[in-house]
Structure 1
């Protein structure tokens, strides 16, 4: 089945208003094809993208609460008002550094969907878990935490597989390794909703760059990428966005 590709940029705690304008100029030069492009800058920069014609904006996280006395948090509605239509949920750095549990991540994803944001749910294993051959066990636990009790959310989600050992290290799973894991994810999702498991977009994240992306995009179950460091370089990120069409599958 043909799924529309999606490329998402995660700027993490980087960027500036000047970079926002440079990225807007680079991406607005791309033809408005079928690929969905999403840029997720720090929340304070969302309004710095003044004329995004060919791409959407997203947040990097959100609160599971609607509003209230939660200093420093961002609600789904605040992200929407700032121009976001997507939001990253459960990034490995949030899981590790901010102690976000599977239960909290499930609540955040539910809140995002209820508000009308499209969540990009991140799942992935550490190096030690991979060495212990626990990749599928870890991914199943992370997916079950969200969809086992709320299978209807799957139809409104994007899922990004990000092997933690490949994030910011320069290491990347081989296309064959990534495909095998994406295929497992799609099969596991079918337990919750067989139709949505076919249509949901699965992204790969982990040191994606202009050199390795085409081979990744040629894999049957990889529908795009969640890009970190390379997304801070407007020209390279635009190249990645164009490359997904070269790897298009029927």
Structure 2
């Protein structure tokens, strides 16, 4: 069965009630490819509002959640809380969480496992820094990050992997379609060897890293790129064009 193309919009620490209303209105009025799954991730404060106002076929995600259901963890948000307000997805392991907030590979793995157990679908991020790519350590880093998830979960049916080379996030630098495809193919082969051929064939792998309206269609043409996780461009009207990239190939 063909893998359904999936595009995520990660708003990060951006937005206000007015700006998010504008983003939602653009998506609600947009002529979107019905064959593409779309997920948007606004800041926590606006999750419920966006969920209630965005067209029903667009899913809403949290940008993070904790590995515990409750307790004395000031400032954290539980996967169960996201489910309680009708949120179906969460992004975990983004490079900014790993780098700025020092989340370890194992912490990410525990979060993924807990989110899945709570009934959320997970966009699990992985990717290498520039110096790691220059040292030819891309797959070593990515496989290490994925292994930390694999050891905590058995069921991959609600996991989407997002390959995001850190050197391409918010920098304007984009991996060439060939560079992205090479890593996506390596990830799929890793899944085949470490999990199962069935999981490797079924799991969707997104590309993230300065995706925009001008490069999305070319990237979408690669056989192992099953969608995008979009940062800055998801805050602009061009996000609609990115969501329709598969149809523009």
Cα distance in structure 1, aligned partners of 2:25 and 2:196: 39
Counterpart residue number, 2:191:
189
Cα distance in structure 2, aligned partners of 1:189 and 1:243: 26
Q: TM-score, normalised by structure 1?
A: 0.94
Counterpart residue number, 2:65:
62
Counterpart residue number, 1:28:
28
Cα distance in structure 2, aligned partners of 1:122 and 1:5: 17
Cα distance in structure 1, aligned partners of 2:3 and 2:32: 19
SS of 1:155 mapped into structure 2: coil
- Alpha-carbon deviation of 1:149? 4.9
Cα distance in structure 2, aligned partners of 1:110 and 1:186: 20
SS of 2:71 mapped into structure 1: coil
Residue number among 74, 79, 88 corresponding to 2:77 in the alignment: 74
Residue number among 85, 88, 97 corresponding to 2:88 in the alignment: 85
Is 1:46 aligned to 2:60, yes or no? Answer: no
| 1:228/1:221 CA distance change after superposition, 3 Å | same
Cα distance in structure 1, aligned partners of 2:91 and 2:168: 18
Flag as ranges the 4+ runs of structure 1 deviating above 2 A.
29-32, 244-247
Counterpart residue number, 2:4:
4
Query: 5+ unaligned residues in a row in structure 1: which ranges?
Result: none
| 1:74-107 deviation line (CA, Å, top 9, x unaligned) | 0011112333211000000100111101111000
- Alpha-carbon deviation of 1:244? 2.6
SS of 1:33 mapped into structure 2: coil
Query: 5+ unaligned residues in a row in structure 2: which ranges?
Result: none
| 1:125-145 deviation line (CA, Å, top 9, x unaligned) | 000000000001111111111
Cα distance in structure 1, aligned partners of 2:151 and 2:197: 13
| 1:43-66 deviation line (CA, Å, top 9, x unaligned) | 001122232223110000000001
| Counterpart contact for 1:21–1:48, Cα < 8 Å | no
Question: Cα RMSD (Å) of the superposition?
Answer: 1.3
- Alpha-carbon deviation of 1:27? 1.4
Question: Number of residues paired by the alignment?
Answer: 245
Cα distance in structure 2, aligned partners of 1:194 and 1:86: 25
| Counterpart contact for 1:62–1:89, Cα < 8 Å | yes
Alignment of 1:231-242 (within 5 A): 231-233=234-236, 235-242=237-244
Is 1:110 aligned to 2:113, yes or no? Answer: yes
Q: TM-score, normalised by structure 2?
A: 0.95
Counterpart residue number, 1:13:
13
| Counterpart contact for 2:109–2:152, Cα < 8 Å | no
Counterpart residue number, 2:214:
211
